[in-house]
Structure 1
């Protein structure tokens, strides 16, 4: 058995497929093709003499032998990473800015995914408005930013297009004849500006009843029944409802989420790719 050692790339491919639940997403993280990932897995399965994953058109599931091997695979990769880290001169720092409208409740899981990619990488994450983060990125204060599309910018890599709606607490009622009460982010905020512009164009009177310093504060105001906010569904607790159709409010467009990064190679690039793939996965759910 020891005459033919395991291929670490193949072991890593197996772990990535298992974690992401997709050959395609694993290929994105490992910067290869789906065919390349499939070949790595087949090579590993041939070496071990058993099937590790059961594939269906919609799902990828561990086989019984695959479940038994997963812990050993992770331990093998961890030992490999610790060995390399022991000879590294210093921890590399990766500074990432994420828009408050983008970060969402999945952020802890995304950070965990990045740490799993490289536990020796020092990850520095800043949360702020898209405009402020892009300015910091242009000043080279940030290595990477994930932000909403910003007026006047045509650069960046599209990660996803996210749906928005006019959300209020369940049971909230708009008082007839009164301006629409809005809970908004503090300026500058592109989503706030877009929502107010759409209401003005539609001739719908509105008034700000709450201004929050972050999406969490705006979501709390919605849950408290203060009024309506233009937010992505994943930003709100269960029970909030989209009142746009009922109130005849203008449709909000799908808003793009873009990645701007000057990191091109090495451990930091692998971490950025892992974050991008994990975020696309979270945004689709």
Structure 2
């Protein structure tokens, strides 16, 4: 009976989950070529094609679909056996995620991270990007996912971030009056983008709603009280982009970056899984 190579099975599961050889390689910290070789060896070992690959799509074959759950069980048993031998206390992983970056996919991302390494004790902190970056620099966070701040060029780029002016369809702006603006807090970098753009365009504005978190700002926008700047992907349901209608200035794009100080191999592997999953969710949401 053929025996299974753990890393080849792990490569197969990553390809199946992420539907991409490239993203699977990122998640496992390997090259795309190495991932392809591992999959080919696994298929040769069991004598069945597991993945169907075309120039546009990566999908499970019929045999791959049957094998996938068993492959997960195999990896879980392997990892559980190793974990049982480990005498170290659970590793603590403090992750900061910017409030304007975290989207509806956040629970799925954290669940995927936990499934990858159950021995990792995950603690999550939601704040604005500037606050999280300061905390990271002070050593209070192991990693953070934030909007790039100012001219700081370090960090791993996860995706671009595009902003827009959003308001309720029934929002009314009276000519000659300052634009009513809702924002997160005075220290929020996204707020700075909005106010700087308005000042440079010579448009008067006033803050009628400040602070309370992103959900509170979204509520103010949905109620028709004010305009707010949002990532185009995370605008409140029902809100519309009104920049062109009100002749508001174009907003500069930014980038979502990952900062990390993790050095041990297991934690780095977990972080690669998180980064790959984040890119995958962003790619899917961008295609809708």
Given the alignment of the two structures, is residue 88 of structure 1 paired with residue 101 of structure 2, yes or no?
no
Given the alignment of the two structures, is residue 74 of structure 1 paired with residue 76 of structure 2, yes or no?
no
- Aligned-partner Cα distance in 2 for 1:173–1:47: 67
8 Å Cα contact 1:215/1:235 also seen in 2: no
Equivalent residue, structure 2, for 1:279: 278
Equivalent residue, structure 2, for 1:227: 226
Structure 1: stretches of 5+ with no match in the other structure: none
- Aligned-partner Cα distance in 2 for 1:181–1:57: 49
- Aligned-partner Cα distance in 2 for 1:255–1:283: 14
8 Å Cα contact 1:23/1:37 also seen in 2: yes
- Aligned-partner Cα distance in 1 for 2:266–2:176: 58
Write the deviation string for residues 69-122 of structure 1: whole angstroms up to 9, x where unpaired: 010000011111111111122211111111111112211011011012111211
- Aligned-partner Cα distance in 2 for 1:271–1:40: 20
Query: Secondary structure, in 3 states, of the residue corresponding to 2:81?
Result: helix
Given the alignment of the two structures, is residue 101 of structure 1 paired with residue 103 of structure 2, yes or no?
no
Query: Secondary structure, in 3 states, of the residue corresponding to 1:103?
Result: coil
**1:35 shift after superposition:** 1.1
- Aligned-partner Cα distance in 2 for 1:55–1:187: 50
Query: Secondary structure, in 3 states, of the residue corresponding to 1:101?
Result: coil
Q: Which runs of 4+ in 1 moved over 4 A?
A: none
**1:152 shift after superposition:** 5.3
- Aligned-partner Cα distance in 2 for 1:220–1:23: 40
- Aligned-partner Cα distance in 2 for 1:125–1:71: 29
Given the alignment of the two structures, is residue 121 of structure 1 paired with residue 113 of structure 2, yes or no?
no
Equivalent residue, structure 2, for 1:110: 109
8 Å Cα contact 1:219/1:235 also seen in 2: no
**1:183 shift after superposition:** 1.1
TM-score by length of 1: 0.94
Query: Secondary structure, in 3 states, of the residue corresponding to 2:96?
Result: strand
Which deviates the most, 188-197 or 165-174? Answer: 165-174
Query: Secondary structure, in 3 states, of the residue corresponding to 2:233?
Result: helix
Structure 2: stretches of 5+ with no match in the other structure: none
Out of 36, 39, 47, the residue aligned to residue 38 of structure 1 is: 36
- Aligned-partner Cα distance in 2 for 1:237–1:36: 42
How large is the RMSD of aligned CA atoms in angstroms?
A: 1.5
Query: Secondary structure, in 3 states, of the residue corresponding to 1:133?
Result: helix
Which deviates the most, 106-115 or 132-141? Answer: 132-141
- Aligned-partner Cα distance in 1 for 2:206–2:69: 55
- Aligned-partner Cα distance in 2 for 1:171–1:36: 55
Query: Secondary structure, in 3 states, of the residue corresponding to 2:244?
Result: helix
8 Å Cα contact 1:162/1:283 also seen in 2: no
Equivalent residue, structure 1, for 2:203: 204
**1:177 shift after superposition:** 2.9
Paired residue total: 283
Equivalent residue, structure 2, for 1:140: 139
Equivalent residue, structure 1, for 2:62: 64
Write the deviation string for residues 170-205 of structure 1: whole angstroms up to 9, x where unpaired: 343323332211111112011101110100110111
Equivalent residue, structure 2, for 1:23: 21
**1:135 shift after superposition:** 1.7
- Aligned-partner Cα distance in 2 for 1:16–1:79: 17
Equivalent residue, structure 2, for 1:242: 241
Q: Superposition pairs for residues 233-272 of structure 1, below 5 Å?
A: 233-272=232-271
Query: Secondary structure, in 3 states, of the residue corresponding to 2:259?
Result: strand
